Structure 1
Amino acid sequence: MSADNSRSDVLLPLRNLCNSVRCSRDRVRDGESNECSGTFSLSNFWEILSEAVKATSQEATKLSLIFSKPPPPSEEDCAKIAESVQKSVLTLSTVYFWLPKSQGITLRKVVRDATAEVLDGLHQLLDVILSSPVQSLSQEQLMSTGGVWAACDQFNQLPKDNRSAVSGVLTSYVGLVKDALEEMEQALAETQDPFGDVVVDDDDDEGIGGRGNQDTY
């Protein structure tokens, strides 16, 4: 068996994981929330979601480290890390779907976008690892790992209820309108009279260089 075929067999669990993460990301982007049949606790949701995000970040770190230096991981080790990452991905996406629409469409959109960003970052990391030599830690892999961390860290700044989410959206709109008005005012201030550089002598409108009421040809 050639070295390329051997490496392909080792990375097969990672290829399957990459496809699974992509499917989970797309499902989060396009899927509908589960109907809440009982009492929903928003505080409990955030607590569990926070743990799921933290676990996903940790798994991304482990994944990047195991493929950062020689020797390359064995087929068994590759299968184990793929299974561990897959578990964290399924947990994260499942917890997201717990958030019902009754808690607010705006809040759900904010959480959806943040969750999809984590999964997208993880998918990019897997894609980089699969396309790079096992024995090296490329700059692209470092950046992809950092991208997952950043996507996970942003959950700490997310609004925790729909009122805060709506307020954040309105604030961003106000900022955009304010910037647009400032740009318009600046443009108007910079607009000059096309004859502004012509000096008019009030004492002699008909003099040379004057701009009187007489047509000139």
Structure 2
Amino acid sequence: MIEESLNYPGGSKSRVNKAGARVRSGEANAEDFQVIETWRAAHRPVLNTFQAILRNRTRGTKVAVAQRHKRRNTIFGKLLRLPKMELSRMDDIAGCRLIFPSCEELYAFRQKFHFARFKHKRRNDIEKYDYIKKPKSTGYRGIHDVYEYDVNSTAGNHLRGLYVEIQYRTYIQHAWATAVEVIGFITESQPKFQEGDDRYHKAMALASEILARAHEDRKGLWP
């Protein structure tokens, strides 16, 4: 197989998927965990490449750039929440986040970035993950793009085809998302996934609507 000849991280996509399925069923062994960790670790250079590109393109602006390498336990949690997902298709193991002063600056940068001259391919349609125009029921607002990594050297062939997610948020949207994360840390509820006490879910969804109307002149799900 082509993916095996290129030393695909973890052995092959099918082997990575098998390890993920075993985690989901509670049957994973030490070899499965090692396969997943090898595959997860391979996303680090992909992440570093994209964060360098983004930092270069935002230099001298008020745009904040951050990066996130998905933790193993978080990967396992997502496998359990999404029983039909194959692990090799999980597209947010490597993630870069751009935080903008305004929606206008966010959309302007994203549009320009879509015409960047590099080999990495955007996987999604422009509107697919636009949660500013169509917020999630949780109140989450922001935009995601997923890119498929490509390389110019044979040394990096094994990384070709791995995914990286770029998140676009405003400062206001990021503050709200951070508050949701904090609730998950200090309570037994996870409003991010609508798990636990429903009062947190409703409160944060309403807070998102208030922030959107007060600071960004936008409306969400609420009438």
Higher strand share: 2
Greater relative contact order (CA < 8 Å, ≥ 6 in sequence): 1
- Give the TM-score, by structure 2 length: 0.28
